[in-house]
Amino acid sequence: MPHPAVPARRTLLKALAATPAAAALASAAAPAAAAEARAGSATPAAPTAPGIVKPLPAEHFTVRGTNAEARFDAFADTGFLTPADRFFVRNHTSTPVLDARDWRLTLWGDGLHGRDPVHFTYGQLRDLPSVTRTALVECAGNARSLYTTQQGQAVSGTAWTLGAVGAARWRGVRLAEVLRRAGLARDAVDLLPRGLDDPYVSGGTDYGRVRRPLPVAKALDDVILAYEMNGEPLPYDHGHPVRLIVPKWVGIASIKWLGDIEVSTRPLTSPWSTDWYRLLGEAHPPGGSAPITRQTLKSGLQLPFGATLESGRVHRLTGRAWSAYAPVRAVDVSTDGGASWRPARLHDGPRRGAWVRWSLPWRPERPGPATLLTRTTDAAGNTQPDRAVHNTQGYLFDAVVRHPVIVT
Ligand SMILES: Nc1nc2c(c(=O)[nH]1)N[C@H]1C(S)=C(S)[C@@H](COP(=O)(O)O)O[C@H]1N2
Ligand SMILES: [Mo]
């Protein structure tokens, strides 16, 4: 298959400005800011991770390699939506600082009527009818470290706790609309959206740019090409100028810095559907499961692990719960290690593809260590199990989280 040139990509500038709106000023402002920093008169910069543009203050993020996990325990001071400056970042390589004016999207392949690739500039995309929807983005490996800490099982990959998830309001164009305008053939079955970030190299192998097959049926259902997050232009780290949002599916489906989409009449693969994002291990078929698609269900407490709580007073336990299968129906909490359960109060209405905030008052009586458990049940009857089924890459952790606290 011949491969068209990918759209123009700006040289990676590690811009000092953290928002795209400030990008135009960045080149002018950068030398002055750098000089000021050298002179020691600037306030110290918040820590960052290699390749991530936005500041990552320690009270809000834990840096894990090229990624930044949001501190779930600190989500108590965020509302239903996760602000962009609190949203986790999962980067295979590093954030490319792209200029919307140079950007265009290319659709190509035998799944289009015409032979020639079809292009959309940023302006053309913005002129198409827009949709706005709230959706979670959650990494397939969110809570992966709990396979080890809670179940004693080895897994490979970034050792996330619960913070590789966030909810945002995304505005953009339906992928169905763009495919229709590009001339989607009736017999097209698979798309291969691909990012403009650097090729992913690991263990001496170059896997190429981040790309993952997306079935046409899902693409036509509810996928959007998003250019706004919470009412602002998409931030650099979250895919500026345009990313996919694939509601309810594992985060890898939501390709950031989207550059091109192959449209094919044959099933497509990439290392992100063959080597990774399958369930491998004893409980799974030899060679692994089919590529994973839908995310799972979880709940968590907005409290650090090992938090201390004073006995003899009422504490308001708070958290969030979500399910990719159906709206959350209930959250139950145990403060005695799972012996008894009480229903939490839900603060958000049941919504597909989003989370609910919940709370429960608790008055611990006796000082000493305690284990708090939270369990969500959705409207389809799915409920968090006591143990997640192990897979070697640690995807789709869904078990009840055992949250240690110390009562003083
Ligand atoms: N181009 C590109 N798209 C990408 C990735 C990436 O590294 N490059 N990471 C994916 C993964 S694994 C996840 S979980 C989500 C994370 O989105 P966020 O960084 O906006 O939170 O983006 C996905 N899209
Ligand atoms: Mo991910």
Asked whether 138 lines ligand 1 (CB < 6 A), one says no
Residue 53 has pLDDT above 80, yes or no: yes
Q: Minimum-distance ligand to the CA of 212?
A: 1
The CATH number given to whatever domain includes residue 198 is 3.90.420.10
Asked whether 256 lines ligand 1 (CB < 6 A), one says yes
Predicted pLDDT of residue 286: 92
Same domain, 122 and 231: yes
Which residue has the CA at smallest separation from atom 24 of ligand 1?
255
Residue 9 has pLDDT above 70, yes or no: no
Which among 214, 243, 274 is the end of a domain? 274
Same domain, 59 and 170: yes
| Residue position matching structure tokens 């968590």 | 300
For the residues 211-223, what does the mean pLDDT come to?
98
Q: Note the residue count of the chain.
A: 408
Establish if 170 belongs to a structural domain. Answer: yes
Which among 241, 274, 307 is the end of a domain? 274
Query: For residues 25 and 17, what is the distance between their CA atoms, to the nearest angstrom?
Result: 8
Query: For residues 37 and 45, what is the distance between their CA atoms, to the nearest angstrom?
Result: 9
Asked whether 136 lines ligand 1 (CB < 6 A), one says no
Query: For residues 22 and 15, what is the distance between their CA atoms, to the nearest angstrom?
Result: 9
Query: For residues 192 and 210, what is the distance between their CA atoms, to the nearest angstrom?
Result: 10
Which residue has the CA at smallest separation from atom 12 of ligand 1?
252
Q: Minimum-distance ligand to the CA of 255?
A: 1
Residue 183 has pLDDT above 60, yes or no: yes
Domain count within the chain: 2
Q: How confident is the model at residue 11 (pLDDT cuts 50, 70, 90)?
A: very low
Q: Which residues of 139-162 are buried (b: 16+ CB within 10 A; e: fewer)?
A: bbbbbbbbbeebeebebebbbbbb
User: Please, are residues 110 and 180 in contact by the beta-carbon 8 Å criterion?
Assistant: no
The CATH number given to whatever domain includes residue 307 is 2.60.40.650
Predicted pLDDT of residue 179: 98
251 Cα nearest atom in ligand 1:
14
Predicted pLDDT of residue 378: 97
Same domain, 262 and 314: no
User: Please, are residues 139 and 160 in contact by the beta-carbon 8 Å criterion?
Assistant: yes
pLDDT digit string, tens, across residues 305-317: 999 999 999 999 9
Same domain, 58 and 196: yes
Which among 259, 274, 289 is the end of a domain? 274
Residue 36 has pLDDT above 90, yes or no: no
Query: For residues 195 and 297, what is the distance between their CA atoms, to the nearest angstrom?
Result: 27
Same domain, 109 and 235: yes
Asked whether 92 lines ligand 1 (CB < 6 A), one says yes
Report the separation in Å between the CA atom of 250 and the middle of ligand 2, taken as the mean of its atom positions.
7
pLDDT digit string, tens, across residues 368-380: 999 999 999 999 9
Residue 61 has pLDDT above 80, yes or no: yes
Of the given ranges (5-9, 54-58, 126-130, 287-291), which has the lowest mean pLDDT?
5-9
Domain of 311? 297-407
Same domain, 262 and 311: no
Residue of 56, 87, 89, 90 to test ligand 1 pocket, by largest number of atoms within 8 Å of CB: 90
Predicted pLDDT of residue 42: 45
Establish if 281 belongs to a structural domain. Answer: no
Predicted pLDDT of residue 352: 80
For 21, the token pair is 């709106």
Predicted pLDDT of residue 47: 67
Residue 60 has pLDDT above 90, yes or no: yes
Mean pLDDT across the chain: 91
Residue 235 has pLDDT above 50, yes or no: yes
Same domain, 316 and 367: yes
For the residues 167-176, what does the mean pLDDT come to?
98
Same domain, 305 and 263: no
Q: Minimum-distance ligand to the CA of 138?
A: 1
| Percent of the residues in the chain that have a pLDDT greater than 90, as a whole number | 86
117, burial (CB in 10 Å: exposed 0-12, middle 13-18, buried 19+)? middle
Q: How confident is the model at residue 44 (pLDDT cuts 50, 70, 90)?
A: low
Establish if 172 belongs to a structural domain. Answer: yes
pLDDT digit string, tens, across residues 79-104: 999 999 999 999 999 999 999 999 99
Asked whether 238 lines ligand 1 (CB < 6 A), one says yes
Residue 6 has pLDDT above 50, yes or no: no
Predicted pLDDT of residue 190: 98
For the residues 97-112, what does the mean pLDDT come to?
98
Asked whether 197 lines ligand 1 (CB < 6 A), one says yes
Same domain, 262 and 306: no
Establish if 328 belongs to a structural domain. Answer: yes
Establish if 233 belongs to a structural domain. Answer: yes
User: Please, are residues 220 and 177 in contact by the beta-carbon 8 Å criterion?
Assistant: no
Q: Minimum-distance ligand to the CA of 92?
A: 1
Predicted pLDDT of residue 350: 85
Same domain, 219 and 130: yes
Which residue has the CA at smallest separation from atom 1 of ligand 1?
195
Predicted pLDDT of residue 351: 83
Establish if 196 belongs to a structural domain. Answer: yes
Establish if 377 belongs to a structural domain. Answer: yes
Residue 131 has pLDDT above 90, yes or no: yes
Report the separation in Å between the CA atom of 236 and the middle of ligand 1, taken as the mean of its atom positions.
12
Same domain, 175 and 94: yes
Residue 31 has pLDDT above 70, yes or no: no
91 Cα nearest atom in ligand 1:
7
Predicted pLDDT of residue 45: 59
286, burial (CB in 10 Å: exposed 0-12, middle 13-18, buried 19+)? exposed
Same domain, 264 and 308: no
